[in-house]
Amino acid sequence: MKRIFDILLSLILLICFSTIIIFVSILVYLKMGSPIFFRQKRPGYREKIFGIYKFRTMTNETDTQGNLLPDKQRLVGLGKFIRSTSLDELPQLFNVLKGEMSFVGPRPLLIEYLDLYNDEQKRRHDVKPGITGWAQVNGRNAISWEQKFEYDIEYVDNQSFWLDLKILWLTFLKVIKRSDISSSSSVTMEKFTGSK
């Protein structure tokens, strides 16, 4: 039932948001150049690696040595607006349609984190990753990594169609309010370095 729901909803949203997706693509290209999309390898269900799609939100500005500037300096203007409105997540509808992701589930994180999880935290890969999840509606980037993983495991243990609907509704409210986009000390989330 969840897979059927994912397919139908992703198709409907891709059709409904097609104009916005095209418009944002043009803006990103004009303001930041190519590539328009940010693609990165992430672990999914049972740690199977796939490529996640997002709209690019950071410039490619570098320092005099050719190193990329810090995130805070590269996330400006259009990129900051795209991220604050969660428009950067729209391309993940293609990941859902392909079956690599679901609408609801633990967020797919970096491959480098796989060796840092303890046995309990690894259980977040017992379900498909999601565009949104229980951790996202309970603090997103404003809570600690440990709290995020606790919410992820709570979702794995209690997943249901009705819980998914609740999370989708709470996500809608979060997007409208533009809340919990950043952590308290960074424009994105600090990297996970393992639990003590």
Q: What b/e string do you get for 69-88 counting C-beta neighbours within 10 Å, with b at 16 or more? A: eeeeebbeebbeebbbebbb
pLDDT digits (tens, 9 = 90+) for 166-187: 999 999 888 887 665 554 445 5
pLDDT digits (tens, 9 = 90+) for 93-131: 999 999 999 999 999 999 999 999 999 999 999 999 999
Closest listed residue to residue 56, CA positions, set 14, 26, 11: 26
Closest listed residue to residue 137, CA positions, set 154, 123, 118, 122: 154
What is the pTM (predicted TM-score) of this model? 0.85
Structure tokens at 128: 């498909």
Residue 194's pLDDT is 85
